Structures are given as C-alpha cells and as structure tokens.
Amino acid sequence: MPTSLQLAEGNPILLDAVRRSRKLLNRRALIGAAASAVPVPGLDWAVDAALLSRIVPAINAEFGLTPAQLDALPAHKREQVQKALAMVGSVLVGKFITRDVVLGMAQSLGRRITARQAAKYVPIAGQAISAVMGYAALRYLGEEHIRDCVRVAQAARLALPQPGRARRLQKS
C-alpha cells in the first residue's frame, strides 16, 4: 500500500500538507510513547484517546476537511467531498471527533494495546516495548488518517487551505 507521500506525489501543496501532518503526528506519538512507558494502569489509554481526539481534527484542518471548512464550501464542492468520502470509506474525515470514535479506533488495535498493557509491567525492557508499541499504534492510526485525507482531497479536487490559516481554523 502506498504511503501518504507517495499518494500526494506530483502535488506540492498536498505534499506540504502531508509533511506538516506527519510532523504533528510524530510529536504526538512521542508523547503517547512516553505515557505508555509509565506503569500506571489506564494512563496510556487516556493519553492516547486525548492525543487522537486532538490530532485527527488538526490533520483534517491541514487538508481543509474539518466540519467548519466543509460547511464553507459551495454546495457542488461539498457534494464532491461527500462522494469522495463514500469512495474512501473514512469515518474520521470531516466529522466531529467524539469519545466513541476514538474508542472505536483504539479497539481496531486491540491486540497490540493488550500486549502493550502486559509488557509495561516487566521492568525496564517491558516499559521500553510498551513505549515502542504505543508510538507505533499512534503512528499507524495517524498515517492511515493522513492517507484517507489525501485520497479525499484528490478525489474531490479540493484547494487546500494556507498552512497558517488551517491551524487558526482548527483552533476556533
């Protein structure tokens, strides 16, 4: 399966959005990894849920796919986006991110998360393994979402927002 950068190849604006999204994803995944290494039951789940509930809207904003950005589009363009969403099958693009959505994402990685929980109670090596698994899980989910956003933006032929404007729209 091609990476998000490979999907965006040939479109410099889309490539920039992917790079900014990946940079944000890497930072958040490192925070998740640090939380995974702490041997406190449930802490990593809470941190992962909080990180995902913030990173998904931020990635959506980079691609012009937040609910507010989509509402601002002309009707024909919104229809194109809806068709692209149906084609891609993403449940996170253009939606408000709720606790239930984040839990559904986490359940999709159930085995890894269970192994991560068990590993963290083995001194030092287990905590390192748990941190690596936490990082990998967040990176995987984030990369899948970035890939979906690229596909939707390409299929709908969206004009992406300016980098600074995307962040301002996401914060409001």
Looking at residue 59, its pLDDT comes to 92
| Contact by Cβ (8 Å): 98, 67 | no
Residue 20 included in any domain: yes
Looking at residue 70, its pLDDT comes to 87
Residue 164 included in any domain: no
Residue 113 included in any domain: yes
- Residue 172 is classified by DSSP as -
Looking at residue 4, its pLDDT comes to 92
The vertex-72 CA angle with 102 and 93, nearest 5°, equals 25
Residue 170 included in any domain: no
Looking at residue 172, its pLDDT comes to 47
Residue 117 included in any domain: yes
Number of domains in the chain: 1
CA distance 40 to 17: 36
pTM for this structure?
0.77
CA distance 167 to 83: 26
Looking at residue 38, its pLDDT comes to 81
Residue 140 included in any domain: yes
CA distances from residue 53 to 2, 30, 56, 138, 172 in whole angstroms, order as listed: 25, 16, 6, 12, 15
Looking at residue 150, its pLDDT comes to 93
Q: Is 73 left (phi over 0), alpha (psi -120 to 50) or beta?
A: beta
Looking at residue 105, its pLDDT comes to 62
CA distance 30 to 114: 19
| Contact by Cβ (8 Å): 140, 4 | no
Q: Is 162 left (phi over 0), alpha (psi -120 to 50) or beta?
A: beta
Looking at residue 43, its pLDDT comes to 80
Looking at residue 28, its pLDDT comes to 94
Residue 90 included in any domain: yes
Residue 8 included in any domain: yes
Averages of pLDDT over each 10 residues, the chain, 172 residues? 89 94 95 85 80 90 89 89 81 60 60 56 72 87 91 87 61 50
Domain interval for residue 144: 4-157
